[in-house]
Amino acid sequence: MRIGIYPGSFDPVTLGHLDIIKRSAKLVDKLIIGVLNNSKKVPVFTNQERKEMIETVAADIPNVEVDYFTGLLVDFAKEKQADVIFRGLRAVSDFEYELQIAQLNRTLRPELDTVFLAASVEHAYLSSSLVREIAQYRGDISSLVPEELIPIVERKYQEILSKT
Ligand code: COA
């Protein structure tokens, strides 16, 4: 059984992430989405919210599981008995950073390979921070996140704005 991991912050998950999730899931028997509890980034959405949003949008993909992780990706991959990490590349600018991480991860765990999927052209400009910025100013996020998540993201920003 081939197990893949697609790690990220997913704050929030975007249409670009969903594209990579769908395509990665076809390449393995089981795909685990690893929601990073990142000490370097303070997420807008809680761990639970980020996990639930991915579970909602990936509900119709039977071989996808979602879990959190802290610490090293290679340790999470070992715990999950994963063979491969998936990452999306949106532009050449992603490549340098991603290559470095992939090489580092292989140094730490040589049997773990990273597969890069080219982001679909229509999602190449997308990022979670772009979604957050547009949502913050009550802009239209309908072309950026899966439809089911629009009210969740908008509600979150209404809550945040009502507290400021
Ligand atoms: N579609 C849309 N957005 C995409 C995307 C795609 N296909 N691919 C990347 N992005 C965006 C994300 O939206 C995010 O945008 P933001 O910075 O505006 O929020 C950005 O690219 C990068 O985020 P993400 O893909 O979530 O990765 P990350 O940088 O938060 O984390 C890990 C990358 C999880 C692989 C890495 O940090 C990690 O492994 N951390 C664990 C610690 C570890 O093992 N360290 C050693 C190796 S670095």
Instruction: Tell how far the Cα of 2 is from the centroid of ligand 1, in angstroms.
Output: 23
> What are the catalytic residues?
17, 41, 90, 128
Q: Which tokens is 15 given?
A: 């249409």
β-pairing verdict for 84-89 and 113-118: parallel
Per-residue model confidence (pLDDT) at position 39: 72
Give the C-alpha separation, 100 to 35, whole Å: 20
pLDDT of residue 40: 76
**pTM metric for this prediction:** 0.94
Which residues line ligand 1 at a C-beta cut-off of 6 Å?
7-11, 14, 16-17, 20, 36, 38, 72-73, 88, 90, 101, 104-105, 119, 123, 126-129
Distance of alpha carbon 124 from alpha carbon 88, whole angstroms: 10
The domain spans of the chain are 3-124
Q: What is the average pLDDT across 130-135?
A: 96
- On the CB side of 15, CA atoms within 13 Å amount to 18
- Confidence grade of residue 164 (pLDDT, cut at 50, 70, 90): confident
Whose alpha carbon is nearest atom 12 of ligand 1?
127
Quick one: pLDDT band at residue 8, thresholds 50, 70, 90?
A: very high
* CATH topology classification for 3-124: Rossmann fold (3.40.50)
Confidence class for position 20, pLDDT limits 50, 70, 90 = very high
- Percent of the chain residues past pLDDT 70, beyond the cut: 100
What local confidence, expressed as pLDDT, does residue 76 receive? 98
Distance, in Å, from the CA atom of 149 to the CA atom of 27, rounded to the nearest integer, reads: 26
Pocket probe for ligand 1: among 39, 75, 101, 141, the residue whose CB has the most ligand atoms within 8 Å is 101
Q: What distance in Å separates the CA atoms of residue 129 and residue 152, rounded to the nearest whole number? A: 16
20-25 long-range CB contacts below 8 Å, 24 or more apart? Answer: 20/86, 20/87, 20/88, 20/117, 20/119, 21/54, 21/57, 21/58, 21/61, 21/64, 22/61, 23/117, 24/86, 24/115, 24/117, 25/58, 25/61, 25/63, 25/64
Q: Which residues contact 122 (CB under 8 A, 6 or more apart)?
A: none
Mean pLDDT to the nearest integer, 96-108: 97
Going from the Cα of 8 to the center of ligand 1, the distance in angstroms, rounded, reads 4
pLDDT tens per residue across span 61-73 = 999 999 999 999 9
